[in-house]
Each structure stands twice: as structure tokens, then as C-alpha cells.
């Protein structure tokens, strides 16, 4: 693997620059202290198995409670953390925290749930990524099959390098999901090379289903392709029953979205596990998907 570099610093416009470079620099400074000051925490969003109505897995989503600005969204600070290299210690903290939490749920007697953790591009270039994951699994004593890493495809790493890295990660016994599938630099050619377990259909495709025929066609195509490749497919960003209904008809078995739950705290996961299960059953019964 090539040494990790910080590409194209300040060279092109990013949405968070709209408030001004000065503001971004201030945020970056604060970001440097945020880890030591305990300002990060993780929320978890359930991924529901529509066949069983159970929470199959939860996705860990990092949050930053800034001392004066309040909540800063990850879409804003993750790219900054990437550019200044902070994503490496932050990513490690996120992974360790999520694995520890998965163990806590297990000890509380909750039914088995995988925990999905987002990896950012910078982490894919991290020299000791595989060792780090292995070490965290070892220290937290989490069964590797309960960890799923979410990656997004990117042009900056070539397919051979990426394939090798993913094989090394898979050898640890963990699962790999491709996040935001269909956006960015996703290409079909890597689907046959990469040892992946799951595709996550990006929210932008699902948003206008079932009203936009083009989006409908794309979503149906992704689901059927995933099934033929024997990949699990998760639809992200489901807010409406109509969307759910369309996905069920299309054969999608897993969904994640506000319809069933927003990202919530680990305590809320524990407390609402049963309620959520009931709500899923209720909705599926209404749709006459189950009797
Ligand atoms: P993502 O990994 O694709 O995560 C899904 C995002 O969609 C989350 O936003 C989630 O809250 C949101 N979402 C889920 N269901 C719905 C829905 O029904 N409606 C709407 N409107 N939104 C929904 P969030 O938490 O703001 O995270 C945004 C992005 O920031 C993530 O996209 C991911 O790329 C990045 N991110 C978040 N947490 C982490 C992390 O721990 N590590 C890394 N590297 N990136 C992260
Ligand atoms: Mg994700
Ligand atoms: Mg996504
Ligand atoms: Mg994303």
C-alpha cells in the first residue's frame, strides 16, 4: 500500500468553505482538542431485516458536541479531519468505541446485532489499518463476524490495492459493505473483484421512489444485481411507507431510515429494541407483507 498522503489541500471548493476559510481554520483548531476533551460520541441507527422484523445491525455515526457551536454534523467535520490527518486517531476512537458498545449490548442480553462502522478514505491509506482493526477486535473481545466496515469506492486507490486491502480485512473474519453505492466513483467492475458482503443503496436514489421512474429503475436494478451477486442489499434513507412498499416489492430485505428509527444513543437502542421490533411488525402487517 502506498503511504497515505493528504491530497489537494485547499485546492477546490468544499461546501463547508462557504462560511469562509477563517471559520474552517477555527473549526480545525477546535477539532484538534475535541478528542482529548471528550466531545465526540456515537449514535447508532438500526438496520432492519424486513423478513424477520429484527434489528440485524446498527450503524455507528459519529457526533461532535462543540462546546460553543453545539452540534456540528459529520458531513462538516469528517472532511476537515481527513484533510488535517486527525481522521486516523478519530477513526481509531470510533472503531474502538463501537466494538466496546457491541460487547456491552451482548452482555445486556440483546439479540445478536452487527455493528457497522464507516471508514473514511484516509483510513484506507493508513499503513497499519489491518493491524489496528485486529488489535481492537482482540482487546474488545468482539466476535469479528459482528463487525462490518463501510467503505466508499474512490478513484484515489487503484483496484488491485483496494482488493488486496479488503482481502486482508476479510481474513480477520469481518464483513465489508460498500456505502453510498451508485454515487461518486462507484463502478461495476470492482463488484466482481472486491470481497464484499453488502451494498448500501444511497439515499439519493431512494428519495424520489416511487414517484420518479428513473430512480425506480435504478433502485430495482441495484437490488436485482446485488441478489445475483449474492450480496446483501440495504436501502438507506427510508422515510415513507410508500418507499418501503416499493423496496419490498423489488425484493430488498434490509432497510435503514427515519421511518423506523433515526440514529439514537446506545442506551436508547437497549431501551427501544422491543418497541422497534413491534413497530416493524405493525408496518409490515399493514402492508400485508406478513400476516
Ligand atoms: P452515511 O455513512 O451514508 O450515513 C447515513 C447518513 O444518512 C447519516 O447521516 C444518517 O443519519 C442519515 N440518514 C439515515 N436515514 C435517513 C433518513 O431516513 N432520512 C435522512 N434525511 N437521513 C437519513 P449523518 O449521521 O449526518 O452522517 C453523514 C455522513 O457522515 C455519513 O454518511 C458518513 O459518510 C459520515 N460519517 C458519519 N459518521 C461517521 C464515522 O463514524 N466515520 C466516518 N468516517 N464517517 C462518518
Ligand atoms: Mg455509512
Ligand atoms: Mg450512505
Ligand atoms: Mg457516506
**CA of 60, closest atom in ligand 1:** 41
Give yes or no for residue 187 having a pLDDT over 80.
Answer: no
Q: Is the CB of 120 under 6 A from ligand 1?
A: yes
Question: Cα(188) to centroid of ligand 4, in Å?
Answer: 18
| Residue 79 Cβ < 6 Å to ligand 1 | no
Residue owning the nearest CA to atom 2 of ligand 1: 118
Higher-confidence position of 184 and 236:
236
Separation between Cα atoms, residue 172 and residue 99, nearest integer Å:
14
Does residue 179 have its Cβ closer than 6 Å to ligand 1?
yes
What is the number of alpha carbons within 13 Å of residue 25 lying toward its C-beta?
4
Task: Note the pLDDT of residue 11.
Answer: 45
pLDDT digits (tens, 9 = 90+) for 97-132: 999 999 999 999 999 999 999 999 999 999 999 999
Q: Whole-prediction pTM value? A: 0.93
Please state whether the peptide bond connecting residue 133 to the residue before it is cis, i.e. omega within 30 degrees of 0.
Answer: no
| Residue 239 · residue 259 · CB < 8 Å | yes
Q: Percent of the chain at pLDDT above 70?
A: 91
Looking at residue 64, its pLDDT comes to: 97
Whether residue 184 has pLDDT greater than 60: yes
Task: Starting from the CA of residue 153, give the closest ligand.
Answer: 4
82 Cβ inside 6 Å of ligand 1: no
* CA atoms of 173 and 260, how far apart (whole Å): 29
Q: Which residues surround ligand 3, an ion (CB under 5 A)?
A: 179-180
Q: Which three cell numbers stand for residue 162?
A: 483496494
Of 161 and 184, the one with more pLDDT: 161
Query: How far is it, in rounded angstroms, from Cα 259 to Cα 152?
Result: 24
- Which pLDDT does position 158 carry in this prediction? 82
Query: Could you say which ligand is closest to the alpha carbon of residue 62?
Result: 1
Cβ of residue 62 lying under 6 Å from some atom of ligand 1: yes
Q: What is the DSSP string of 260-281?
A: T---B-HHHHHHHHHHHHHHHH
| Confidence bin at 188 (pLDDT 50/70/90) | confident
Pocket-testing residue among 15, 39, 44, 74, ligand 1, by greatest number of atoms within 8 A of Cβ: 74
> Up-side HSE of residue 7: CA atoms within 13 Å toward CB?
10
pLDDT at 13 > cutoff 70: no
Does the beta carbon of 94 sit less than 6 angstroms from any atom of ligand 1? yes
pLDDT for the residue numbered 182: 83
The residue whose C-alpha atom lies closest to atom 20 belonging to ligand 1 is: 237
What confidence tens digit (pLDDT) does each residue in 75-101 have?
A: 999 999 999 999 999 999 999 999 999
Q: According to the model, what pLDDT value does residue 8 have? A: 47
Q: Which residues pair with 256 in a beta bridge?
A: 236
- Cα–Cα distance for residue pair 148/152, rounded to 1 Å: 13
Q: How far apart are the C-alpha atoms of 140 and 149, rounded to whole Å? A: 16
Q: Nearest bound ligand to CA 47? A: 1
Q: Tell me if 122 CB under 6 Å of ligand 1.
A: no
Checking if the pLDDT of 9 tops 80, the result is no
122: how many CB neighbours lie within 10 A of its CB? 22
Distance between CA atoms of 257 and 234, rounded to whole angstroms? Answer: 10
Q: What is the 3-state secondary structure (H, E, C) of 202-259?
A: CHHHHCCCCCCHHHHHHHHHHHHHHHHCCCEEEEECCCCHHHHHHHHHCCCCEEECCC
Q: How confident is the model at residue 15 (pLDDT cuts 50, 70, 90)?
A: low
Q: Average pLDDT, whole number, for the chain?
A: 90
Task: Pinpoint the alpha helices (H) of 108-237.
Answer: 121-124, 129-140, 159-170, 189-193, 203-206, 213-228
180 pocket-lining for ligand 1 (C-beta < 6 Å): yes
With cell 462490518, the residue in question is 148
Cα Dmax for the chain? 58
**Is residue 243 predicted with pLDDT exceeding 50?**
yes
Q: Which ligand is nearest to the CA of 180?
A: 3
pLDDT for the residue 126:
94
CA distances for 117 relative to 62, 151, 178, 251, angstroms: 9, 9, 11, 25
d(CA 235, CA 245): 12
User: How much is the pLDDT for 193?
Assistant: 87
**Residue-wise pLDDT tens digits, 22-58:** 788 889 999 999 999 999 999 999 999 998 889 999 9
The alpha carbon of 291 and the centre of ligand 3 are apart by a number of angstroms equal to 31
CB of 182 closer than 6 angstroms to any ligand 1 atom = no
The percent of residues in the chain predicted with pLDDT above 90, rounded, is: 77
Q: Please tell me if the CB atom of residue 75 comes closer than 6 angstroms to any atom of ligand 1.
A: yes
Amino acid at each position: 500500500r502506498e503511504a497515505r498522503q493528504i491530497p489537494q489541500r485547499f485546492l477546490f471548493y468544499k461546501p463547508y468553505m462557504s462560511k469562509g476559510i477563517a471559520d474552517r481554520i477555527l473549526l480545525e483548531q477546535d477539532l484538534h482538542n475535541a478528542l482529548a476533551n471528550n466531545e465526540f460520541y456515537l449514535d447508532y441507527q438500526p438496520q432492519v431485516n424486513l423478513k424477520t422484523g429484527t434489528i440485524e445491525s446498527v450503524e455507528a455515526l459519529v457526533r461532535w458536541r462543540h462546546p460553543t457551536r453545539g452540534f456540528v454534523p459529520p458531513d462538516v467535520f469528517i472532511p476537515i479531519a481527513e484533510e488535517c490527518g486527525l481522521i486516523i486517531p478519530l477513526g481509531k476512537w470510533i472503531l474502538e468505541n463501537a466494538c466496546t458498545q457491541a460487547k456491552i449490548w451482548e452482555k445486556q442480553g440483546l439479540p445478536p446485532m452487527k455493528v457497522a462502522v464507516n471508514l473514511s478514505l484516509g483510513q484506507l491509506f493508513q499503513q497499519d489499518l489491518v493491524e489496528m482493526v485486529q488489535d481492537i477486535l482482540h482487546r474488545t473481545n468482539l466476535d469479528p463476524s459482528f463487525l462490518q466496515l463501510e467503505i466508499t469506492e474512490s478513484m484515489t486507490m487503484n483496484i488491485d490495492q483496494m482488493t488486496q486491502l479488503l482481502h486482508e480485512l476479510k481474513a480477520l473474519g469481518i464483513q465489508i459493505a460498500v456505502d453510498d453505492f451508485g454515487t461518486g466513483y462507484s463502478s461495476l467492475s470492482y463488484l466482481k473483484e472486491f470481497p464484499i458482503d453488502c451494498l448500501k443503496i444511497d439515499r439519493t436514489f431512494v428519495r424520489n421512489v416511487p414517484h420518479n421512474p428513473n430512480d425506480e429503475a435504478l433502485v430495482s436494478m441495484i437490488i436485482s444485481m446485488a441478489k445475483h451477486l449474492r450480496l446483501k442489499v440495504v436501502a438507506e434513507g427510508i422515510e415513507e411507507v410508500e418507499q418501503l412498499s416499493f423496496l419490498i416489492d423489488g425484493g430488498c430485505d434490509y432497510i435503514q431510515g427515519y421511518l423506523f428509527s433515526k440514529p439514537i444513543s446506545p442506551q436508547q437502542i437497549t431501551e427501544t429494541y422491543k418497541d422497534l421490533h413491534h413497530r416493524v411488525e405493525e408496518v409490515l402487517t399493514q402492508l400485508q407483507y406478513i400476516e
